[in-house]
Structure 1
Amino acid sequence: MSEQSHTPKGKPFNLENHIEYAAGSVVSKTLIKKEIGTITLFAFDRGQGLSEHTAPFDAVVHILDGTAEITIGGKPQIVNAGEMLIMPANVSHALQAKQRFKMLLVMIRSD
């Protein structure tokens, strides 16, 4: 489920409270979508994930709540709330929720 959010501009807000978990689902909210990149919030319920894929540019993941298992180039690693990870361009990656988690994904396109 994806939606364009009504992100407050010019006012502080709490990222973790800006998206809710949904049972058995992955919820996403696009905060900013521009030609040069996107900023998207995600909430993954336990057992949900994103299958292995690649992207032509680096992507930054910041875990806001819970714990994610992120596999990069076939090597799984645990990323906890408060931690960030840069997923390198053109390297396969996947995300799995061993427990539910929320994350902020920042993708900036490059030539």
Structure 2
Amino acid sequence: MLKLIEDMEMGQVVDLDSIINAREGQIQSVAMQDIDEVFDKGITGEGQIESIAMGQKEGIEITAFAFEKGKGTEPCTTSRDILVYIHTGVATVKIGDELIEVKKDQMVAMPANIAHQVTAKEDMKMLFISVKEA
């Protein structure tokens, strides 16, 4: 996973399918739950911000979020690299001073120790995949 993040340029938007196709056989499951099932049953998207922890294993944490349009995270900095995968909707992601639009089925890397923020441009569901080097 760390190699995947290193290969992505900061703020580069990437389609999930292209990563899976390029790294076929190299991506291992860290959570046994089906993403659609978590979003359909675990998160309704009817609150302002909802979240559910999907799993944690060897320095990787996966959390599913649902944000109403206009809602988002506060600006913050973390010691972990974070991959943001947009499952539905559109988000504005701020990394440092750069604003990036990320759409359904795209992901963007937010490097450790750089201020970042995610805001929903429309109702949105996403995964935060937080990675800490062991």
| TM-score band w.r.t. shorter chain | 0.7 to 0.9
- Tell me how far apart the structure 1 counterparts of residues 98 and 106 of structure 2 sit (CA, whole Å): 18
C-alpha contact (below 8 Å) 1:16/1:65 kept by paired residues: no
Partner in structure 1 of residue 88 of structure 2: 65
Q: Let me know the Cα RMSD of the aligned residues.
A: 2.0
- Where in structure 1 are there 5+ consecutive unaligned residues? 1-7
- Tell me how far apart the structure 2 counterparts of residues 12 and 45 of structure 1 sit (CA, whole Å): 22
Name whichever of 56-65 and 32-41 sits farther off.
Answer: 32-41
Cα shift readout 1:51-76 (whole Å, capped 9, x = no counterpart): 11111121011100000000001211
Partner in structure 2 of residue 32 of structure 1: 55
Give the 4+ runs in structure 1 shifted more than 6 A. Answer: none
- Which amino acid in structure 2 is aligned with residue 67 of structure 1? V
* TM-score under structure 1 length normalisation: 0.81
1:20 to 36, 44, 53: 44
- Count residues in correspondence: 102
- Tell me how far apart the structure 2 counterparts of residues 54 and 13 of structure 1 sit (CA, whole Å): 26
Partner in structure 2 of residue 103 of structure 1: 126
Cα shift readout 1:3-59 (whole Å, capped 9, x = no counterpart): xxxxx94x7562542421124x11000011346231100000111110111111210
Partner in structure 1 of residue 64 of structure 2: 41
The structure richer in helix per residue is 2
- Tell me how far apart the structure 1 counterparts of residues 72 and 44 of structure 2 sit (CA, whole Å): 16
- Tell me how far apart the structure 2 counterparts of residues 36 and 79 of structure 1 sit (CA, whole Å): 25
The structure richer in strand per residue is 1
* TM-score under structure 2 length normalisation: 0.68
The alignment partner of 1:53 has SS state of: coil
Would the alpha carbon gap of residues 48 and 13 (structure 1) be closer, same or farther in structure 2, given more than 3 Å must change? closer
Residue identity (%): 30
- Tell me how far apart the structure 2 counterparts of residues 36 and 42 of structure 1 sit (CA, whole Å): 19
